A and B are shown apart, each in its own frame.
Chain A
Amino acid sequence: MNLRQQLQQLLTLLYVGTSAYMFWKGLSVVTNSSSPIVVVLSGSMEPAFHRGDVLLLWNRNERSRVGDVVVYEVNQKAIPIVHRVLREHHNDKKQLLLTKGDNNPVDDLGLYARGQNYLNKDKDIVGTVYGYFPFVGYVTILITENQYFKYGLLGLIALSSLISGEE
């Protein structure tokens, strides 16, 4: 393989990477959500959502309604939480929400930040779930949580590039 081919491959790789990034950011702008597609990581909404299910979010609604499933982040903690709105209190300026996981016995008061009694719609909500596709996100869970799967996948990619390499 000569230098030109190698550079061409690098270019293709960069192209794939940047177009994925552009798609993601474009979707972010359209949905007004920092993370327009999320993968369910916990079982707290079973049997509605299982681990690995993919959710599509929308954040251009002015207010959340009781019964909506929302994704929220507390205090910039790394893990977004997917739960249902149990109560809402709003006036012209802001909306306060109390959430609960369908499969949890109690509401989310214990999950919020210290001294926080409600979520703020504008600040804490990443988006409202409107679309659902089962299972396909499980790959990301396998990659992050199962090292055998991760290395197996890397090995497979390496092997296939060896075998199908240009003569």
Chain B
Amino acid sequence: MSDLLQSIRPYLEGPISFKAQRTTHDVSLLLLNFGAFVSFGVGFVFQSILASVYTFVGVLAVTLLIVVPPWPSFNGDEGLKWHEPKVDILK
């Protein structure tokens, strides 16, 4: 049971590199804030709260799609040299 969990964990976890973590954080904030602003404008102009809701839900869906999955480009080589571990802690 725990072996099975261990084997599927990387897929469920979907880790990304630390630079990509920063990028996704910035992108998500920017997209959502902008989306909220736009959806208020759209709703106000058309005098329809539904237009506002649809716009925001659309932006949210796009943001989730861009930010959440561990896209291959989020795990590129970051040109960092890690120190070799001096002691093998797994032993």
Contacts and interface: CB of A to CB of B under 8 A. Distances in A.
Interface of A: 162-163
Contacts of B12: 163
Interface in B1-28: 5, 9, 12
Interface residues of B, number: 3
Task: Give the 4 A-B CB pairs with smallest separation, nearest first.
Answer: A163-B12, A163-B5, A162-B5, A163-B9
A162 B12 CA distance: 12
Nearest to B1: A162
Contacts of A162: 5
Main secondary structure of the interface of B (DSSP, over half): helix
B8 to A, nearest CB: 8
A112 to B, nearest CB: 37
Contacts of B9: 163
4 contacts: A162-B5, A163-B5, A163-B9, A163-B12
A11 B74 CA distance: 36
B13 to A, nearest CB: 8
Contacts of A163: 5, 9, 12
A42 B12 CA distance: 40
A132 to B, nearest CB: 13
B20 to A, nearest CB: 20
B80 to A, nearest CB: 24
A162 B8 CA distance: 12
Nearest to B8: A163
A135 to B, nearest CB: 11
A90 B33 CA distance: 50
A23 to B, nearest CB: 25
A162 B5 CA distance: 8
A162 B9 CA distance: 10
Contacts of B5: 162-163
Interface string B53-85: 000000000000000000000000000000000
A165 to B, nearest CB: 8
B60 to A, nearest CB: 16
A47 to B, nearest CB: 15
A162 B2 CA distance: 9
A43 B34 CA distance: 37
Nearest to B9: A163
A163 B24 CA distance: 23
A163 B2 CA distance: 9
A163 B9 CA distance: 7
B77 to A, nearest CB: 26
